[in-house]
Amino acid sequence: MNCPICNDIMKIVRKDASYNRSKPATYDRTLFRCIDCDTWIKIEVPMKQIQTAKIVQPAS
C-alpha cells in the first residue's frame, strides 16, 4: 500500500483480528504506517470463511 499523503510505500506495523458484535463478524485487521511522514492507516477485511461455522442450532 502507498501513502495517500506522500505516496511512499507504507510498512505493515501489525496484523491481528478484530470482532464486531453487532454483525457478528470477525475481521482481519492490518495496520500500516508511513515512515516518511508518520501517517497511519488501518484496514479491516471480513473473514468470510469462518462467519457461519459452528452457528448451526441442533434440531430438538
Residues 6+ apart with CB under 8 A from 33: 10, 11, 13, 39, 40, 41
Task: Tell me the torsion sign for CA atoms 44, 47, 53, 56.
Answer: positive
Q: Closest separation between CB of residue 35 and Zn ion, Å?
A: 8
17 or 35: CB nearest Zn ion: 35
Q: Closest separation between CB of residue 13 and Zn ion, Å?
A: 13
Q: Contact positions toward Zn ion, by CB under 5 A?
A: 3, 5-6, 8, 34, 36-37, 39
28 or 36: CB nearest Zn ion: 36
